[in-house]
Amino acid sequence: MKRLALSVFALLFIFLTPQGHSQSLQDIQTSNSLARTAKRLLAEQRFDEAISKYKEAMFYSPDYRIGVAHAYQEKAYFLMRQKKYGEAIFPMRSTIKYGHGLDDDFTKGSKFGALATLLGAVDRLSEAIQAAKYSIRFDPDDAGNYFTLGDIYERQEKYNEAIFAFNEAKKRDHSGEFTGLINISIKRLKRNHLKKSKKKIPPSANRQSSGSAFILPSNRHFITNAHVINGCKVIKVGNGPKQDITVEIVSKDDINDLALLKIINSGRGKESGSMTQPTGIAVEARPKPGSLRSNDIALGERVMVAGYPYGSYISNSMKVTFGIVSSTIGIGNNSGQFQLDAAVQPGNSGGPIFDKGGNIVGVVVSRIDKMKMVKATGSLPENSNFGIKASTIKTFLSANGMTVRPTVTKRELSTERIAEIAKRRTVMVVCLR
């Protein structure tokens, strides 16, 4: 009997083993074919079909779970770029589900952080807080996760919790990349918390924000961004420690984000005279260099940004940064803007951008929101800021009946000389609401 049993076992081994091996190869071929189809569909942004094919491939080979996670992630990011935040929630949840335990590209902490941002965007704040807490549990050393939690708490008006979360973010911001933003958020929270704790709300006109602007040759007109002066009850400009010149809005263009301001007292009375006394501003009638350049900026040109970043939080003095033009078009292929890598901070908006000859080639308009980009793409953008071209500014001025004589100084000036020109052209704008 033992010999018979061994013979039967041997026969089964001989016949079944080759068949099992052949089936395994067939599974691999089938899964690879399905995965190739899924990859093609994903490239065509046919996300649901790609996900279905990857799931079929996963049935034959569990290794293709990473394909399912990747397809869900691509669908989520695509919907986020379309600003369809509610629709992006399910694919982001599925990315977390299928990406669990895979490589660093699918770490649960970062994906829970993105999910928290999406839930917050559609005001599902309680769920957003839970997702943010999960992101911290899986990645407790990420400053961005704590920052997201603080932002959501602030929207719920839970100021103490928000301040705690922002302070935890600050402790983990070892590179110092977000320290300024975190400090401003904490100051804003403390101020709002104080307002909430008082029965009488301080007058809205006591709230203020700031930006930058530059003086036109008339010595009475200024160019800044429309968003800098939107909603202002009183607007003041100046440089150094005083911003005591009251101005009014002549015109603004919300599409191009430009505004033209003018000193209210158009004569030579007390207020217009202060332009050269208390504020220290003195500008030649036809400054050269220092006017708008006649031709637009070119790719790779070196530029200098002037302005008052963070208003008076740091100091009242003008600051300058240097960089190059990294693209001759702006966000969304906006041909009226250009991209530069010079450092730009809150408060720089509306400030002039100079070329190496001291000519104004644009005005600062915006910088990429780093925290949103981190949550949307998983990577931190560096040196991605934008300016409005001089040609766009000239068109805006012409539409308002102003002709500014464009000039070009081809001779390269020292950085010290350009900074001196900038100091005479740049002012801080203070908006009282």
Residues 236 and 173 in one domain: no
CB 256 within 8 A of CB 262: no
More confident call, 275 vs 196:
196
Total number of domains in the chain = 2
One-letter amino acid at 177 equals E
Average pLDDT over residues 279-293: 54
Asked if 114 and 208 sit in the same domain, the reply is no
pLDDT of res. 250 = 93
231 lies in the same domain as 259 = yes
pLDDT band of 151, cuts 50, 70, 90 = confident
Tokens encoding 73:
């992630």
19 within a domain of the structure (yes/no): no
Return the higher-pLDDT residue of 391 and 174: 391
> Of 196, 227, 250, which residue constitutes the final position of a domain?
196
- The domain boundary, picked from 173, 196, 219, lies at 196
Q: How would residue 65 be classed by pLDDT, with cut points 50, 70 and 90?
A: confident
The residue with greater pLDDT, 354 or 16, is 354
Which letter does DSSP use for residue 201 in this model?
P
Tell me the angle at which helices 85-99 and 65-81 cross, rounded to the nearest 10 degrees. 160
Pair (184, 216) in one structural domain: no
Q: Is 173 contained in some domain?
A: yes
226 and 143, same structural domain?
no
357: left (phi over 0), alpha (psi -120 to 50) or beta: alpha
117 & 88 share domain: yes
Q: Which of 164, 196, 228 is the last residue of a domain?
A: 196
Q: Which domain holds residue 53?
A: 25-196
Whether residue 11 is contained in a domain is answered as no
Q: What gap in Å lies between CA 34 and CA 52, rounded to an integer?
A: 10
- CA atoms of 433 and 236, how far apart (whole Å): 12
> Residue 58 domain-assigned?
yes
Choice among 6-15, 142-151, 170-179, 308-317 with the minimum mean pLDDT: 6-15
Res 271: pLDDT: 41
Please say if the pLDDT value at position 165 is more than 60. yes
pLDDT at residue 38, as a whole number? 86
pLDDT of residue 264: 82
Distance CA 351, CA 276 (A): 20
* Average model confidence (pLDDT) across the chain: 79
Quote the pLDDT of residue 211.
92
Q: What is the CATH number of the domain that holds 146?
A: 1.25.40.10
pLDDT in tens, 405-429: 766 667 889 999 999 999 989 999 9
**Both tokens of residue 273?**
């005279």
Q: Which residue has the higher pLDDT, 104 or 342?
A: 342
Same-domain pairing of 140 and 243 = no
Which carries the bigger pLDDT value, residue 25 or residue 74? 74
Domain assignment present for 132 = yes
Reply yes or no: is the peptide bond before residue 287 cis, omega within 30 of 0. no
Both 294 and 151 in a single domain? no
In sign, the C-alpha dihedral spanning 171, 176, 177, 181 is positive
Q: Quote the DSSP letter at residue 239.
A: S
157, pLDDT greater than 60: yes
Is the residue at 433 inside a domain?
A: yes
Confidence band (pLDDT; 50, 70, 90) for 289? low
Interval 117-136: pLDDT, tens = 888 888 888 888 888 888 88
Instruction: Give the CATH number for residue 369.
Output: 2.40.10.120
**Residue-wise pLDDT tens digits, 199-238:** 444 444 456 888 999 998 877 899 999 999 998 999 999 8
**DSSP tag of 248:** E
Better-predicted residue by pLDDT, 157 or 200: 157
**What are the pLDDT digits (tens) for 76-90?**
889 988 888 889 899
The Cα–Cα gap between 117 and 111 comes to 10
Determine contact, residues 237/230, Cβ cutoff 8 Å.
no
User: In this structure, are residues 219 and 290 in contact, taking their beta carbons and an 8 Å threshold?
Assistant: no
Query: Are residues 252 and 149 located together in one domain of the fold?
Result: no
101 vs 171: which has the higher pLDDT: 171
Find where tokens 């793409």 sit. 377
In a domain, 411, yes or no: yes
> Averaged over 26-37, what is the pLDDT?
87
Both tokens of residue 302? 């070196």
Both 216 and 150 in one domain: the answer is no
Percent of the chain with pLDDT over 90: 30
Query: Per the domain annotation, does 392 fall within a domain?
Result: yes
Cβ atoms < 10 Å from Cβ of 190: 12
pLDDT at residue 153 in the model: 85
What's residue 148's pLDDT? Answer: 84
Same domain, 106 and 230: no
Half-sphere exposure of 236 (CA within 13 A, CB side): 17
Checking if the pLDDT of 288 tops 70, the result is: no
Question: Mind listing the pLDDT tens digit for each residue in 366-385?
Answer: 766 555 555 555 555 567 88
Q: What is the largest CA-CA distance in the chain?
A: 122
Whether residues 97 and 217 share a domain: the answer is no
**Structure tokens of 112?**
């829970």
Structure tokens at 164: 């705690």
What is the average per-residue pLDDT within 247-253? 93
Of 247, 293, 249, 239, nearest to 272 (Cα)? 247
